[in-house]
Structure 1
Amino acid sequence: MNYNYHQDLNIVRMNTMPDRAYYIPCAPSKNTTSKENNERVLLLNGSWKFTYYPSFAEASLEGVSDNVLPVPSNWQMYGYDKHQYVNIDYPIPYNPPFVPKENPCGVYKRTFSVELTEEMQFHLNFEGVDSCHYVFLNGVFIGYSQVSHSTAEYDITPFLQDGENEIAVMVLKWCDGTYLEAQDKFRMSGIFRDVYLLQRPQHHVRHYVVQTSLQQESATVSFKFDDFGTALVKSVKILDAEGRAVAQGETCDETLSLTIENPVLWNAEQPYLYQMVLDTLQERIIDTIGIRTISAQGNVLLANGQPIKFKGVNRHDSYPDTGYVASREQMVRDLQLMKQHNINAIRTSHYPNAPEFYHLCDEYGFYVIDEGDMESHGAWSSHGFRDNDWYAVVHHDPQFQTAIVDRVQRLVTRDINRPCVVIWSLGNESGLGVNTLAAVDAVRKLDSSRLLHYESKNFMPEDQEKFNFDILDVESHMYPDLEYTERLAQENKKPLILCEFAHAMGNGPGSLSEYYELFYRYDGFAGGFVWEWCDHAILQYDASGNAQYLYGGDFGEVLHDGNFCVDGLVYPDRTPHTGLLELKNCARPVHITRAGNTFSAENKLDFADLSDAVTVVWSLEQNGTKIAEGSIANFNLAPHAKAPLPLSLPPIDGARVYLKFEYLQKAVHPLIPVGTSLGFDQFDLSTEDMSVSLPVSHSAVTAEQTPTGWLVNGETFSYHFNTALGTFDSFKIDGIECFDRPAEFDIHRAPTDNDMVEAGIASYGQNSWKSLRLDAAYAYTYETVVEQSNTSVTITCPLSLVADRAAPFCNIQAVYNVYGSGAVEVSMHVSVRKDLAYLPRFGMRYFLTEDFQNCTYFGYGPQESYSDKHAGSYKSMFNATVPDLFENYIYPQENGSHSGTEECTLSNANTTLKAFSTKPFSFCASEYTREELAAKKHHFELQKGGCTVWNIDYAMTGVGSGSCGPYTIEQYRLTEKEFVFDYMFIPRRNL
């Protein structure tokens, strides 16, 4: 093909119509905004003939293929080309404006029929095509456009013929726009959003802008129309939610102002929408209007004059089975899960999402930071390593200015009427330069009613004096640690936003509650957006029909970033991660605190009175059994207010008494069923500590030496202590062996995604777990001493944990008291090597026979919990099977531990083994060894170990968010150099 617009930075489109606000018109007598069953819309979605060419140079419009491809779709999802996941680096050489000569191209063809009339025009719309497209109609070139996630519209009226027409679209994988679309995502190609014809009258409203302002008891709704100076008569009616007209007017001018008395305002908690009906002689446009303001007063972010907090997430249009294609059902499912987990804000990372998504956010109530299709940090590594001097080269290069400005203009113009959009974002991680300033000017000219965001503050060295960050309205940061975050919150002069934080990759994020505590502590802290909403992965099936999720590197691509795309709060199929449950409770609508016997509630909502939003219920449990419950109905509490709860509790006495408040959805909401739990607070009201007496037995217990240790026998048990291992290697109850293999000391864990650097996976650091050889630790024992009495045997075994070429990690004075009942009392005095910053864990792991499948525990549950990740868990007695305790992360890693445990039992048909301690410990029970988890790269590769692995840990270091953010903070690391670990091991026969 001779066309070369895709390698010309001065041409970002050819023959497209002027940008306009997104809407779907209908006939004057109709009332629809739908593309379906709309006589003014010819939807061209469906099966298109498709020919794939490995190179655009080979592509032809002449060939007719028997292959078909659904539109919308990405061709990689159907076996053409291959998937590639890249985070930062460009997947092509950095050689703008040129792209590889081997530039895959897909040629799409289909026919459609129209009936031509003099009164009507036909406008062809593409809502999303990656990366660019050339359009032909009946063999004639119509136009060209790039910017993958923005609409391109063409007037094809002069090229149509009455009756059947053939459209052909050539889609290229790469274009010069690729240098501006280096987003963290799978790189896919094709027509991935709707394609349709709009049939429009010769004279019509092309574009309109709706803005609202508030007065004392009224609102002004201002319209600005672009109908190309035709003096078109425009009639506007505004209806309330009940369909009553509250304002109306008519004009031939470019502007119209209407007044609504006593307006109901839009906000994310109460998303009230009015309906606009815009009529011209031959057409009707229906849209929704939300009356709201967004502003900053000093460093406080305000909506409708009220301070608000963003409890947000970053979201891609990404699905495991449809790629970039986002159906209404898929989008509603995302929003439903968000609402039910207290998420109120979305950053569209890092491009405009599907147009309908914003209408759903209007309807259901979400604040949106709407981001331009702009990310160019691939230049960062374009000279062999990540060199900050090259980070901002694209925004510094004037030849990119046309394209960069075009992208923000398309963003703002398309979504300008959406009330959910409260902040425009220029893009992501592209640095600052003269092109940034031009983009800012373009946005300001189009819309001054919203705030402006851009996080990236890196610039070329020669631009040192050019930038005044007053051009932006908010202070935005990514992944700061807690100490730096608090300093920002104390010093910021603008509303502070963490546009990305709490990297939710794998088992994480840790310390989310600490960040939320800072959100609420500082008025100028407007909140943050967790990275990110969903795991990106490609769904495939093995020969047996089992689902497999694949990530970077699984498709034979050389350049990729592995599983770094698997970093969401939900799995690809939208099953929540435990991190989402953590976020849910951090963002709960009510916080209850305790001062003595008084409990006070604080309404964390920004607009709704508590009595309208939630019902507060409470329950009192002792040892996991409910002993009292009640509710606090119609508790009036204004937004941000705090007041004592009217609560009367029964007398409380004993151990493990916990009071739990739960907040149930009260208001009717289309996405949240009434009665849905929105969070909880829990308080320990125990008047005494829990204690467990060892089973009384006066049975004799004996010890006899064996070639490898000591055999300890009682009436119902026989245990063998291995003096070389410092632990038991056999544990028989009534002659039945409970152990599959010897117990072991354990100071390591299967690295989580957040451990990848410190564990030595992402980089081999001097003090990584791998370089320290923590993963290879084993026991080196010294002289074992055995003492006997009539009813007990005491085994004292001093030992060290060592590894080849390493100095001892710790010295342990281990003492085991075995009683005639079969109970074992374990006491370990541990001294950790002084130069070790911390240990991943310290404890024992017991390899039980695989039939130990039933687990009961009193601790944090029901989901996994860690020292820095248990805000979404509560203390109770829980029952589960061992498989149920496993969290099946796509990339296998440490999972399923439970912190704050006081007792834990595992049982099979014959025996129950109980671990108990007066000091809370952590436990994990799994069908997989940590070695297996560490060795495999995919969930579907895991092989069960043929046993039940039971970890009983003195402590486990927290999980942090170090995959892209701060490591586990000091207080949640196992940094102690001297400690004592005591617990009891109590067997019981099952009758």
Structure 2
Amino acid sequence: MSIEAAGRIEQELAGVIESEFDATRVPDPGFVAQHRRAARSDHRWFRDDAERAAGVSGFEQSLNGLWRVQVAPNPASVVPGFEQPGFDVSGWGTIPVPGHLQLHGHGTPQYVNIQYPWDGHESIEPGQVPQLANPVASYVTTFELDRPLDEGERMSVEFRGAESALAVWLNGRYLGYATDSFTPSEFDLTEALQPGGNRLAAQVFTFSSGSWLEDQDMFRFSGLFRDVVLLRRPAVHVEDLRVTATLGEDGAEVVVDLQLYGAGHASVALEGVGELTADAQGRFRIRVADPRPWSPEDPHLYALTIRAFDESGAQTEVIAQPVGIRRFAIEEGVLQLNGQRIVFLGVNRHEFGLNGRVMTREQTEQDLQLLKRAGVNAIRTSHYPNNSFFYELADEYGFLVVDEMNLETHGRWDRIRYLDAPVEEALPGDDERWRAALQDRAASLFERDKNHPSVVMWSLGNESYGGSLLRDLADWFRGVDDRPVHYEGVHWDPRFPETTDVVSQMYTPAAEVEAYLREHRDKPFILCEYAHSMGNSFGGVDRYLDLADRDPLFQGGFIWDFADQALEQVDRHGRTFLGYGGDFGEAPHDGDFSGNGIVFADRTPKPALQEVAFLYQPFRIEVGSDAVSIENRSLTTASSAYETVVALRREGELLRSAVLETHVPPGTSAVHPLPFAVPRDAGEVTVDVELRLREATRWAEAGHIVARGQGVVSGSRPRPVRRGQRPRLVEGAHNVGVHGEHFGALFSRLHGGLLSYRFGGRELLTAMPKPSFWHAPTSNERGWGGPFDDGQWLLASRYARPVGTQLRTASVSHDDEAVTVGYRYELPTSPRAVCDVDYRVTGDGRVAVTVSMDLPPGLPELPEFGLQLATSADAHLLRWYGEGPDETAVDRRLGARVDVFEQDVRTALPPYLRPQESGSRTGVRWATVTDAHGFGLRFDAEQRMEFSALPWTPYEIENAQHPNELPPIQRTVLRPALQRRGVAGDDSWGARPLPEFRLPRSGRLEFRFSFTGVAGG
């Protein structure tokens, strides 16, 4: 059957090499492309089955490698004639392609979130480009064809990413021009090729009219940052293809439909099904009985093989096209996959790593494996199309992708939002000058990605307000495809609600989402961005998942975002650190606002990932003293697919473990008795239930924990009561001494505090303990102005003074068992507050501490309430019984489990881009901090406490702008606390923690714990 003629290919090849490039058109919004080949599907073609099996095509020739480059500061300074074959570029420098100019000595990276990079430097209007600072890179490389062109073959070059505009020449002849940094630009070379060496030249403009449409929250770079590839087309070639395979409503049968565009004849076969037959219109079809649907849990792909033949019957190429059979649509008012409601357990993902936006397939696959292990099922390509291999991998690993076109004009929208500019200033808004650019970007996205089953929604872009052009663009998408259309900007500009098929918002608190849905039931609701994971964050996110369980119209969201955007830098002392906005000498910039990931820039997991994995797990597990309840939230997978392991522990000691056979079908719940009895006389024990992979997969090893739950059971086992003689009391003029057989404590009347605590002949305190009300502000706290509001508590922590006249600052009392020494501290707050600290010392050296305070009305909220101590830096081994293993907070602790954990204090501060309060543990029953010989301190809580052991004080942490600026380690700082304020998670610029995760602002606060010396065995 003949392949349908490719009439959509928009160029006259005979005229491509005859025109000249006009650089004065670069600022024209309507100058989108010239002589560029039309967008097409991203399928690959091979010469034979052996190439197809190896994944190496003889029709492709990579031009990646070192190119010659020269960078002019602006278009007026470009070296004329550089593209001509005789121009000598031997004195030019070299740069790797793909690569960013700014990371190879040509300019500096610039991180801005909302601001346009030129803001404040040049005053220009939309469409105009900076004149003083618009670097233009001239690239040159040479190549020889790996073999001569066969008769009828054509050759093109494909630039898969060029930021922001690109002009191309071959052997001095102009080939074409293109904008849109994030979709391929392909140009025909055939008529300009010559035998032997060929000289390919390209000019890349940092700023073009298209730059107004690319104001995403990201580092700004320029250059050829994706692959450059030569592509051969045989005389008989499939130029474009469209495959659809939609699961029927009953799921029993599906029709796979294929359209081919090109010339010649073709045969098509679907692996395991049979040959496709063609109808009179040239469409190939086949019915698939009992199909295996594609889904995140089972991303099954059928192999579709397409063979093209010339008139003589000789095969000219073979194409391997994966096909995922699935149905994604709004059905019964909600988003459904294969007839089942879905919840997006999603993340936003910039295509960004330590080499900027230069990403390899291998790096991308590692990202997706990490996300799969964390239970993520959906990715939004914020805010531009990714490399084509991302979508191939998403198909294979099973991710629901919201595919976003390259559009954001946030800096322009701010003029309307904050400066009262008229709606007419919206970009693109209703301005017809931008229609061609938008349509081009939409078509480039759609045509390339249309065959990927992972793509379930088209997104019109991000934070570009609204307008008729976006409305019309949504209609265009609906006219060419049946996938829903997404756009969040309707929330801010509601003139055209039909622009989006879903209600989409950003960072709306869960309670407000619920209130909205009480009044609006017309569309599914998603949060295209939520849980702004900047620094030590991601608190209270469970409220969103609970709402998704309660209300079918709320269908989840996408965490902002996957990984920190940061680049390696070296400080003046030769130490490496990760740089953020402003670290490269650029201005304007937006500081560390690029540090929003659930993983660090090097893909090391942040502590928040522990919470993500728990909240996104496909099973909810509730463990009691004699049974476990398992709720299966999967779409297709029963619990029996995994091995369920139950473990009984007491303070880290494994008492029993067993495998529990379960079979909980998707969408159901069941209760199973535990496989053993939990002893009632063993004190506090934990029962852990884990669902583990039975076998290794592409994304995890066998035994990987897919879901888990824990029950804490308190029994009747009494703890031994330590008794002994009352310690010896020595009341000196300046000091109060309390001494026992192995210890001595010295309380200063002169300085107003515990001056010394010696145990086993060693001093264990290196600073006087003080009440602690302050911590180094987190990114979220800085965002909503916490330091300004709470600054009194910084003064209170640093400058509290003992109440009383000199030499009378300590109150001393005793009973039959202990001596109690107390201090009252006056705090520099307004109104004045006082804090009491009492030390009750028993004969065995145990010091029971009570920190208490009656809060007067009118004071700001406390960041924390506890005590700060310091001991020797040699005591760097932390061991605790409480929640872990990663750091936790009162509003981010569901992902933790209770057990005994260990950590080196020297690495206990997570390396957030900007140091801040972190490294704390919640639910701590006891903790020890010792040296390598086991000598140090043990802390016990009457109930539970938060506990922090770090090498630095909060003040040292706060003063550092980067981890490498933290001072050399001199001590171990210990901060047991009643509570620290929650880290919050809705956003990083206004959302405080939920009320239940804050300390009270009135009434009495009291915190009790004890410490004692411990000696190594």
The alignment's TM-score, normalised by the length of structure 1, stands at 0.93
> Residue 679 of structure 2: which of 623, 642, 652 is its match?
652
Amino acid at match of 1:20: R
> Residue 600 of structure 1: which of 621, 629, 639 is its match?
629
Structure 1 distance, partners of 2:969, 2:431, is 57
Structure 2 distance, partners of 1:71, 1:841, is 51
Give the direction of change, closer, same or farther, for the CA distance of 1:659–1:459 in structure 2 (3 Å limit): closer
| Structure 2 equivalent of residue 786 of structure 1 | 812
Q: Identify which range, 300-309 or 732-741, moves more after superposition.
A: 732-741
Amino acid at match of 2:888: S
Residue 910 of structure 2 corresponds to residue 901 of structure 1:
no
The answer to whether the Cα contact below 8 Å between 1:699 and 1:715 also exists between their aligned partners in 2 is no
Residue 955 of structure 2 corresponds to residue 936 of structure 1:
no
Structure 2 distance, partners of 1:199, 1:690, is 80
The answer to whether the Cα contact below 8 Å between 2:727 and 2:819 also exists between their aligned partners in 1 is no
| Structure 1 equivalent of residue 476 of structure 2 | 442
The answer to whether the Cα contact below 8 Å between 1:603 and 1:641 also exists between their aligned partners in 2 is yes
The answer to whether the Cα contact below 8 Å between 1:192 and 1:325 also exists between their aligned partners in 2 is yes
Q: Summarize the alignment of residues 541-690 of structure 1 with structure 2, pairs less than 5 Å apart.
A: 541=570, 546-594=575-623, 597-612=626-641, 614-633=642-661, 635-653=662-680, 654-666=682-694, 668-688=696-716
The answer to whether the Cα contact below 8 Å between 1:380 and 1:388 also exists between their aligned partners in 2 is no
Structure 2 distance, partners of 1:704, 1:937, is 46
Structure 2 distance, partners of 1:786, 1:615, is 60
Structure 2 distance, partners of 1:594, 1:839, is 35
Structure 1 distance, partners of 2:461, 2:212, is 13
- 3-state SS of paired residue (2:666): coil
Give the direction of change, closer, same or farther, for the CA distance of 1:389–1:661 in structure 2 (3 Å limit): farther
| Structure 1 equivalent of residue 265 of structure 2 | 233
Amino acid at match of 1:86: V
Residue 724 of structure 2 corresponds to residue 697 of structure 1:
yes
Give the direction of change, closer, same or farther, for the CA distance of 1:678–1:357 in structure 2 (3 Å limit): same
Residue 65 of structure 2 corresponds to residue 42 of structure 1:
no
Structure 2 distance, partners of 1:116, 1:651, is 76
- 3-state SS of paired residue (2:45): coil
> Residue 737 of structure 2: which of 695, 711, 717 is its match?
711
Give the direction of change, closer, same or farther, for the CA distance of 1:284–1:700 in structure 2 (3 Å limit): closer
| Structure 2 equivalent of residue 14 of structure 1 | 34
- 3-state SS of paired residue (1:400): helix
| Structure 2 equivalent of residue 839 of structure 1 | 862
The answer to whether the Cα contact below 8 Å between 1:193 and 1:325 also exists between their aligned partners in 2 is yes
Per the TM alignment, residue 700 of structure 1 is displaced from its structure 2 partner at its CA by 3.9
Give the direction of change, closer, same or farther, for the CA distance of 1:200–1:587 in structure 2 (3 Å limit): same
Structure 2 distance, partners of 1:298, 1:116, is 55
Per the TM alignment, residue 338 of structure 1 is displaced from its structure 2 partner at its CA by 0.6
Structure 1 distance, partners of 2:53, 2:568, is 33
Structure 1 distance, partners of 2:116, 2:822, is 61
| Structure 2 equivalent of residue 866 of structure 1 | 889
The answer to whether the Cα contact below 8 Å between 1:759 and 1:770 also exists between their aligned partners in 2 is no
Structure 1 distance, partners of 2:490, 2:750, is 59
Structure 2 distance, partners of 1:684, 1:844, is 28
Q: Summarize the alignment of residues 86-485 of structure 1 with structure 2, pairs less than 5 Å apart.
A: 86-92=112-118, 93-101=123-131, 102-114=133-145, 115-215=148-248, 216=250, 217-227=252-262, 230=263, 232-239=264-271, 244-250=272-278, 253-281=281-309, 282-320=316-354, 322-382=355-415, 387=420, 389=422, 392-448=426-482, 450-457=483-490, 466-467=495-496, 469-485=497-513
Structure 1 distance, partners of 2:265, 2:670, is 56
Amino acid at match of 2:897: Y
| Structure 1 equivalent of residue 997 of structure 2 | 972
Gaps of 5+ in 2: 1-20, 310-315
Per the TM alignment, residue 888 of structure 1 is displaced from its structure 2 partner at its CA by 2.1
Q: Residue by residue, what CA displacement relative to the aligned partner does 1:381-416 show, whole Å, maximum 9, x if unpaired?
A: 458965575683432322212212221121111100
Amino acid at match of 2:713: L
Amino acid at match of 1:438: D
- 3-state SS of paired residue (1:283): strand
Structure 2 distance, partners of 1:255, 1:384, is 49
Give the direction of change, closer, same or farther, for the CA distance of 1:898–1:637 in structure 2 (3 Å limit): same
**Share of identical aligned residues, percent?**
31
Amino acid at match of 1:210: V
Residue 111 of structure 2 corresponds to residue 85 of structure 1:
yes
Per the TM alignment, residue 755 of structure 1 is displaced from its structure 2 partner at its CA by 1.1
Give the direction of change, closer, same or farther, for the CA distance of 1:819–1:130 in structure 2 (3 Å limit): same
- 3-state SS of paired residue (2:849): strand
The answer to whether the Cα contact below 8 Å between 2:650 and 2:684 also exists between their aligned partners in 1 is yes
CA RMSD, aligned part only? 2.3
Amino acid at match of 1:963: S
Structure 2 distance, partners of 1:878, 1:673, is 23
Q: Residue by residue, what CA displacement relative to the aligned partner does 1:353-374 show, whole Å, maximum 9, x if unpaired?
A: 1101100010111110000000
Per the TM alignment, residue 94 of structure 1 is displaced from its structure 2 partner at its CA by 4.5
Residue 883 of structure 2 corresponds to residue 850 of structure 1:
no
Per the TM alignment, residue 628 of structure 1 is displaced from its structure 2 partner at its CA by 1.1
Give the direction of change, closer, same or farther, for the CA distance of 1:233–1:845 in structure 2 (3 Å limit): same
Structure 2 distance, partners of 1:182, 1:33, is 41
Structure 2 distance, partners of 1:601, 1:199, is 55
Structure 1 distance, partners of 2:430, 2:753, is 65
The answer to whether the Cα contact below 8 Å between 1:481 and 1:965 also exists between their aligned partners in 2 is no
Give the direction of change, closer, same or farther, for the CA distance of 1:879–1:667 in structure 2 (3 Å limit): closer
The answer to whether the Cα contact below 8 Å between 2:764 and 2:936 also exists between their aligned partners in 1 is no
Structure 2 distance, partners of 1:190, 1:947, is 47
Residue 909 of structure 2 corresponds to residue 889 of structure 1:
no
Amino acid at match of 1:4: T
Give the direction of change, closer, same or farther, for the CA distance of 1:683–1:96 in structure 2 (3 Å limit): same
The answer to whether the Cα contact below 8 Å between 1:621 and 1:658 also exists between their aligned partners in 2 is yes
Give the direction of change, closer, same or farther, for the CA distance of 1:342–1:542 in structure 2 (3 Å limit): same
| Structure 1 equivalent of residue 942 of structure 2 | 918
The answer to whether the Cα contact below 8 Å between 1:551 and 1:565 also exists between their aligned partners in 2 is yes
The answer to whether the Cα contact below 8 Å between 2:905 and 2:951 also exists between their aligned partners in 1 is yes
Structure 1 distance, partners of 2:594, 2:881, is 35
Per the TM alignment, residue 687 of structure 1 is displaced from its structure 2 partner at its CA by 2.2
Amino acid at match of 1:969: L
Q: Residue by residue, what CA displacement relative to the aligned partner does 1:18-73 show, whole Å, maximum 9, x if unpaired?
A: 11111221225555288x74221121111111112222221121451442111111
Structure 2 distance, partners of 1:103, 1:378, is 19
The answer to whether the Cα contact below 8 Å between 1:247 and 1:260 also exists between their aligned partners in 2 is no
Per the TM alignment, residue 844 of structure 1 is displaced from its structure 2 partner at its CA by 0.3
Number of residue equivalences: 965
Amino acid at match of 1:53: A
Structure 2 distance, partners of 1:813, 1:336, is 52
Amino acid at match of 1:603: N
Give the direction of change, closer, same or farther, for the CA distance of 1:288–1:651 in structure 2 (3 Å limit): closer
Structure 2 distance, partners of 1:890, 1:854, is 25
The alignment's TM-score, normalised by the length of structure 2, stands at 0.91
Q: Identify which range, 211-220 or 578-587, moves more after superposition.
A: 211-220
Structure 2 distance, partners of 1:964, 1:760, is 10
- 3-state SS of paired residue (1:975): coil
Residue 965 of structure 2 corresponds to residue 951 of structure 1:
no
Structure 1 distance, partners of 2:792, 2:178, is 50
- 3-state SS of paired residue (1:81): coil
Amino acid at match of 2:674: L
Structure 2 distance, partners of 1:317, 1:558, is 23
| Structure 2 equivalent of residue 747 of structure 1 | 773
Structure 2 distance, partners of 1:388, 1:592, is 52
Gaps of 5+ in 1: none
Structure 1 distance, partners of 2:861, 2:720, is 31
Give the direction of change, closer, same or farther, for the CA distance of 1:341–1:249 in structure 2 (3 Å limit): same
